[in-house]
Amino acid sequence: FGSLLGLCLITQIITGLFLAMHYTADTTLAFTSVAHICRDVQYGWLIRNMHANGASMFFICLYSHIGRGLYYGSYLYKETWNTGVLLLFLTMAAAFMGYVLTVITNLMSAVPYIGTQLVEWLWGGFAVSNATLTRFFTLHFLLPFLIFATMLLHLLFLHETGSNNPTGLNTNSDKIHFHPYFTYKDLLGAGLLLTTTMCLSLFTPLLLGDPENFTPANPLSTPPHIKP
Domains and CATH numbers, the chain: 2-165+177-214 (1.20.810.10)
Q: Cα dist. 112→73, 101, 170 in Å?
A: 33, 16, 45
pLDDT by residue (tens digit) across 149-206?
999 999 999 888 777 766 666 666 677 777 888 889 889 999 999 999 999 999 998 8
Burial of residue 4 (number of CB atoms within 10 Å: 0-12, 13-18, 19+): buried
Residue type, 97: M
- Around Cβ 148, how many Cβ atoms within 10 Å? 14
pLDDT by residue (tens digit) across 40-75?
999 999 999 999 999 999 999 999 999 988 888 888
In the chain, DSSP assigns E strands to none
pTM of the model: 0.80
